[in-house]
Structure formats: C-alpha cells, structure tokens
Amino acid sequence: MTSPSYALVLDLAGKRVVVVGGGPVAARRATSLVTSDAQVEIVAPWLCEELASLVADRRVVWHARDYRIGDVDGAWLVHTATGDRATDDAVASAAESARIWCVRADDATVSAAWTPAVARGADGVLVAVSGGGDPRRSRAIRDAVAAALDTGELPVRATRSRVRSGPGTVHLVGGGPGDVGLLTVRGRRLLAHTDVVVVDRLAPRGVLEQLSSDVEVIDCGKTPGHHQLTQDQINEVIVERALRGLDVVRLKGGDPFVLGRGGEEALACHAAGVPVEVVPGVTSAVSVPAAAGIPVTHRGVASSFALVSAHDGVDPIAHAAREHAPTTTLVLLMGVRLLRDSAAALVASGRRPETPVAIIERGWTPGQRTTVGTLADIADLADGRGVESPAVVVVGDVVALRERLGAFSPEVR
C-alpha cells in the first residue's frame, strides 16, 4: 500500500505504547502519545534533548539500550524511528507477527499504519489529514484546517446535548465598528461554539448568517426612541440562558467596556454566579474616524483625545472642553441628536467657532459617509444632508488631515 485505506481514532489512555528510537522524530511521536495519556516506553541507547526531558519529568519510561526481540510484546501500538533500516524492519516484523499495529518513520510505503497530520480545535474537535503518502501536503492541509478552526470559520458547534453540572458562560464580545472582518479571532471562535447569541443593533450582523440553524438569536437591537429590550431585561436574558447550562455570546458593537454597558452585564452575571468573559473589540471611537482618514491623535496637531457620550446631554461635553486643552481632540458618541446644542456648548466653553468638525456615519460599512464643517456651521450642514445615527463626531484640528489622507473605507456621497 502507498496510502492509508482506513481512518481510525484511538483511545490510548492508560495503554502501553512502545517507541523505538531516541531522535527528534521519535520525540515528536512520543510527545503526541503522552498528550493522549498513553503509557509510553522508549527503547533507545541514547536520547535527544526533548526525549530526555520527558524521561526526567517521568512522563515516559526509558530502556537505555538497543532494541531486543520481545520489546513490543504486550503493546497496543508501536512506533519505530531509529533511522536504521534493519532495526526498523525487525521491529515492524515483530509487531506484524504479534498483530500489533506499527508505524514506521523511515518508509511509509511499507508501514502497516500511518500517523496523520492533526489539527485540534476547542471542545475536543480533532481533524486528521492524510496526504496520500505526501507528508508536506498533509501538513499544508492540516495548517489550513487549523487556521479555520482557530478563526471559527468551520461549523464546529456541538450538536449533541451536553450535560452540565453548572451554568454556562456568558461571553461579552466586542464586535468592532461594523465590518465583519474587524471582529476578533476570539470573538469568531466563540460564535462558532455558542448556544445563544444576544445581539445589538450596531453589532456586525453579517456573522449571524454563519451560525448554525439551531443557535438561538435574540435581537435586543436598541434604536433611537425605541428599545426592544431594556438593559435590565438584557441582563435577565443572558443570566437566565446561562443558568440553564447554555453558553451565551453577548455580541455588541465596538468594545463592550467603551460606552457599551458591558460592566453592568458582567456585574449581573457575577451576582447570579454565572461565569463571564470579556472579549475586547475595536472601538468605534478610534476606528470610525480612522476609516474617514482622521487620526484622533497626530504629532504636532493633537497628542491626546477625550471620548464623551452625548447620550446624557451637553453638560459632559462642555465639561470635557473646559477640562482639556484646545488641542485635545474630542470624540462624541451618540452625538447626532444634540449636535446643534453640543456645538454651541463647545463654543461657549472656549472652543473656536472655526474648529474643524467631522461626522462619520455608518463607519466601516458600505453606507459610510463623512460630513465636514466647523463648530459654527456643522449643525446646518448635517441638517441639509440628513445626517443620522449611528455616527461618530470628531471635533479638532485633526479633521483637516482628512484632506491629505483621504478615506480608508469607501464612502457614499
């Protein structure tokens, strides 16, 4: 045979496995076997550093000598990797006579068994790849599968019912500013495994199309003037599902701890004894201005920026203007509704009427649009263009850099 004809996954926990050879190849095989909780015995007159370390840690047993007839007797599996053809032949022949599967490292074409390239994912997912006798092809395919497992691109969610002795975990996942590609690898991986997704209006909703059909999706999408779920109701939902033993992803726009009420949800989970994890996201406060070609800091222009929520009125905005130097960039979230009042408050607090202002709507989405003006005229410009939320407002001289940098995400006019 020149390639495997039957694939099989073995449970070697507690079972005796013999590895003949003391070099790096034998070390790789032995390390993998130890990870599988096999009882590994090494037969070799000398050991490489990696195998010597396993012996020192008492993770394998070492017979410090050459191979002898009878060494494989009683083993469940044998690996031979001595580099000496005659010895490997003898080991393979003895294993064959004893009806023990033997993996040869020297010549796959005469081996009775093969070790595939293995990719391991979360929750016990294991993918074994055979390249038809081509180890490099096996490794290349394995690496591609491993990358897809790591990023959550494969449908690896468990479909059999799981018995839990306690609650599931709530994962507070920051989805970034809108583009699915800006969701973190950790966030995608959790979405691939979760049982429930509780999603915001501003979260990257494109990822929902990739979920398994039996994942429960709860839309708590808050819109201006209309709240489908109150924050207390959201807290109750994520806690209730977790207490039922389900894993929950609370998918938010931006970062869960930047004006995202992630702290409130984490406290609710702690109070109920529910495990909680926070997965940071790319905050729109910085990334959305960047999409429009506006860095919130720039050498010689602004060395700091202040983030302010306009949700609670203009007083926090006026306070920020008074507390920070005129060169500090102000970034306003949820600032469209009170834009006119905010601009007036900033001028009254000492900012120049000609201070540049930019409003970036729907950053990092196909509908991105930027309106540029000054504190004196931005409200009129916004009214004339019909500017709407979601949008980020940037106040400061860094806005002028947009003319030289241009937008980094396609914009509509």
In tens, the pLDDT along 150-173 reads: 767 776 666 666 667 789 999 999
The pLDDT assigned to 136 comes to 76
> Of residues 235 and 6, which shows the higher confidence score?
235
Q: Examine the residue annotation and report whether 222 is marked as an active-site residue of this protein.
A: yes
- Residue 107 binned pLDDT confidence (cut-offs 50, 70, 90): confident
- The per-residue pLDDT of the chain, averaged, comes to 90
Burial 224-256 (b: 16+ CB within 10 A, else e): eeeeebeeeebbebbbebbeeebbbbbbbbbbb
> How many other CB atoms are found less than 10 A from the CB of residue 370?
26
- Give yes or no for residue 3 having a pLDDT over 60: no
Indicate the fold that domain 170-279 takes in CATH.
Answer: Cobalt-precorrin-4 Transmethylase; domain 1 (3.40.1010)
Compute the distance between CA of residue 105 and CA of residue 92 in angstroms, rounded to an integer.
11
The pLDDT assigned to 344 comes to 96
- Give yes or no for residue 80 having a pLDDT over 90: yes
Is the link from the previous residue into 390 a cis peptide, with omega within 30 of 0? yes
Please pick, among 71, 179, 200, 247, the residue that the annotation labels catalytic: 200
Q: Examine the residue annotation and report whether 252 is marked as an active-site residue of this protein.
A: no
Q: Which two tokens stand for residue 278?
A: 């926070």
* 283-340 tens-digit pLDDT: 999 999 999 999 999 999 999 999 999 888 999 999 999 999 999 999 999 999 999 9
Compute the distance between CA of residue 48 and CA of residue 82 in angstroms, rounded to an integer.
12
Q: Is 125 exposed, middle or buried (0-12, 13-18, 19+ CB in 10 A)?
A: middle
* 132-150 tens-digit pLDDT: 666 677 778 777 777 777 7
- Give yes or no for residue 397 having a pLDDT over 90: yes
Minimum mean pLDDT among 31-35, 154-158, 309-313, 402-406: which range?
154-158
The pLDDT assigned to 140 comes to 81
- Percent of the residues in the chain that have a pLDDT greater than 90, as a whole number: 71
Indicate the fold that domain 1-115 takes in CATH.
Answer: Rossmann fold (3.40.50)
The pLDDT assigned to 192 comes to 86
Contacts of 65 (CB under 8 A, 6+ apart): 43, 44, 45
The pLDDT assigned to 143 comes to 76
Domain-wise residue ranges, the chain: 1-115, 117-156, 170-279, 285-405
The pLDDT assigned to 50 comes to 92
Compute the distance between CA of residue 44 and CA of residue 21 in angstroms, rounded to an integer.
5
The pLDDT assigned to 116 comes to 76
The pLDDT assigned to 229 comes to 87
Cα(first)–Cα(last) distance of the chain, in Å?
65
- Give yes or no for residue 183 having a pLDDT over 80: yes
Is 168 within 8 Å of 240 (Cβ atoms)? no
**Which of 3.90.76.10, 3.90.1150.10, 3.40.640.10, 3.30.950.10 is the CATH number of 285-405?**
3.30.950.10
- Give yes or no for residue 4 having a pLDDT over 80: no
With CA atoms as reference, report the closest residue to 365 among 262, 301, 292, 283.
292
With CA atoms as reference, report the closest residue to 378 among 361, 400, 356.
356
Q: Looking at residues 347-373, what average pLDDT do you find? A: 95
CA distances 133 to 2, 119, 137, Å, are 6, 18, 9
The pLDDT assigned to 395 comes to 97
* 185-244 tens-digit pLDDT: 899 989 988 999 999 888 988 888 888 888 999 998 755 554 578 999 999 999 999 999
Q: Looking at residues 18-41, what average pLDDT do you find? A: 94
- Give yes or no for residue 88 having a pLDDT over 60: yes
Q: Which two tokens stand for residue 44?
A: 């070799």
The pLDDT assigned to 400 comes to 97
Please pick, among 15, 84, 150, 222, the residue that the annotation labels catalytic: 222
